[in-house]
Amino acid sequence: MDLDVVNMFVIAGGTLAIPILAFVASFLLWPSALIKIYYWYWRRTLGMQVRYVYHEDYQFCYSFRGRPGHKPSILMLHGFSAHKDMWLSVVKFLPKNLHLVCVDMPGHEGTTRSSLDDLSIDGQVKRIHQFVECLKLNKKPFHLIGTSMGGHVAGVYAAYYPSDVCSLSLVCPAGLQYSTDNQFVQRLKELQDSAAMEKIPLIPSTPEEMSEMLQLCSYVRFKVPQQILQGLVDVRLPHNNFYRKLFLEIVSEKSRYSLHQNMDKIKVPTQIIWGKQDQVLDVSGADMLAKSIANCQVELLENCGHSVVMERPRKTAKLIVDFLASVHSTGNNKKL
């Protein structure tokens, strides 16, 4: 074989080997970096752009796609210890002609974290209202979506600022008062009584605890490699003290039942989406909300846990689009 041909194959092999070795090294040695690259790539693929906006010296980080039009803009609020990118799995199945905005909640990811910030549900609602006004998102009423803690904030927001919101989707929201506690809440109360709140199940600090949290939040049993579990832990570890402070604030007497206390003030058309096998927040909360909110429809998902957005993204997107079409249909009944 000609020497030049041999050299060509060597160079080609080396060119291919470099990215492959880099990927393997990242997977084994720096899985947290790989996770960040993954989200960056997914945002780019879906056309989501990251921007920052300021209220005085407070920074909000958000991603968006599209522009405001005759259809309502959609603001999406993530859950506890998550970030704006958790919505990407749903964004993938939403029409590209919708104006979407996903914001990092107070203290999360790229949004300001301050020791002076009010992390109560009321405090978070006020911060999100500041964000809305910075973007002038309420120039025309928008559709508000929130899941878990974000659902708690979204529901209270709709009660406090009814003119801002034209419709509401709550995905297994926190903030309701149940007649009986499920196993997860009972476990939390036992931890509180024993002063062992450093072991909050939603704040893992080892790969094993991360695996347990994923099993708690999901009905579907994901097989996650040890390296990825380690990467997920590495990404979260620097923030665990903040998560603990936030968690204790939102389960305090001031905040724990804020949605329950305000649900009868929600006047906009509301959609409730809940996984029937939710182990974190009992699905019976959907019936509570339906009885208190006048214009409310409930969608219960079979074989689905608390992480509805991750477990059933296509179904979640379809339910949201169908709900928006039914509520905001035009004169000729065109769907979104």
DSSP 57-126: TEEEEEEEES---SSPPEEEE--TT--GGGGHHHHTTS-TTS-EEEEPPTTSTTS---TTS--SHHHHHH
Q: What's the pLDDT at 191? A: 79
For 76-107, b/e burial (b = at least 16 CB within 10 A) is bbbbbbbbbbbbbbbbeebeeebbbbbbbbbb
How far apart are the C-alpha atoms of 268 and 138, rounded to whole Å? 15
Please state the rounded mean pLDDT for residues 284-296: 96
> What pLDDT, on the 0 to 100 scale, is given for residue 26?
44
Select which of 99, 143, 152, 306 is catalytic: 306
pLDDT for 30: 56
146 closest CA partner among 274, 300, 328 = 274
Tokens at 89, concatenated: 């799995």
Is there a catalytic annotation at residue 287?
Answer: no
Give the pLDDT of residue 196.
Answer: 60
Which residues contact residue 290 at a Cβ distance below 8 angstroms, ignoring those fewer than 6 apart? 272, 296, 297, 298
Q: Which helix (H) or strand (E) holds 297?
A: strand 296-301
What pLDDT was estimated at residue 227?
A: 84
> HSE-up of 20 (CA within 13 Å, CB side)?
6
Q: Is 104 a catalytic residue?
A: no
Q: Which of 85, 117, 278, 282 is labelled catalytic? A: 278
Q: Alpha carbon of 183 to those of 109, 172, 180, 191: distances in Å?
A: 30, 17, 10, 12
pLDDT at 197 over 90: no
Q: Which has the minimum average pLDDT: 93-97, 231-235, 240-244?
A: 231-235
Q: What is the pLDDT of residue 54?
A: 97
Q: Angle 209-211-213 (CA atoms, 0-180°, nearest 5)?
A: 70
Q: How would residue 336 be classed by pLDDT, with cut points 50, 70 and 90?
A: very low
Residue 212 has pLDDT above 90, yes or no: yes
331 against 171, higher pLDDT: 171
25 vs 46, higher pLDDT: 46
The amino acid at residue 250 is I
Point out the least confidently predicted range of 75-79, 81-85, 161-165, 330-334: 330-334
Fold of 47-334: Rossmann fold (3.40.50)
Quick one: average pLDDT of 239-263?
95
pTM surpassing 0.85? yes
Exposure string for 201-239, b = 16+ CB within 10 A, e = fewer = ebbbeebebbbebbebbbbeeeeeeebbbbbbbeebeeb
Residue-level pLDDT at 329: 77
Lowest mean pLDDT among 74-78, 100-104, 143-147, 183-187: 183-187
Residue 24 in this model has a pLDDT that exceeds 60:
no
pLDDT band at 16 (very low <50, low <70, confident <90, very high): very low
Q: What is the pLDDT of residue 96?
A: 95
Q: Indicate if 264 belongs to the active site.
A: no
Counting every residue written for the chain, the total comes to 336
Where are the domains positioned within the chain? 47-334
pLDDT at 31 over 90: no
For the record, the structure tokens of 292 come out as 């208190």
63 band by pLDDT with thresholds 50, 70 and 90 = very high
Looking at the predicted structure, is the pLDDT value of residue 120 above 60?
yes
Which three-class secondary structure state does DSSP give residue 256? coil
Catalytic residue among 148, 169, 218, 255: 148
- Whose tokens are 């090294």? That residue is 25
Instruction: Say if residue 68's pLDDT is above 60.
Output: yes
Contact 245, 140 (CB under 8 A): no
pLDDT the model gives residue 194: 67
pLDDT at 22 over 50: no
Q: Of 78, 251, 86, which Cα lies nearest the Cα of 259?
A: 251
Can you tell me the distance from the alpha carbon of 36 to that of 80, in angstroms, rounded to the nearest whole number? 19
- Give the mean pLDDT of the chain: 88
Mean pLDDT for the stretch of residues 128-138: 98
Report whether pLDDT(267) > 70: yes
DSSP symbol at 136: T
Instruction: Calculate the alpha carbon distances from 262 to 32, 171, 259, 289 in Å.
Output: 39, 17, 5, 10
Give per-residue burial for 251-278: e unless 16+ CB within 10 Å, then b.
beeebbbbbbebbeebebbbbbbbbebb
Say which range, 35-39, 153-157, 251-255, has the weakest mean pLDDT.
Answer: 35-39
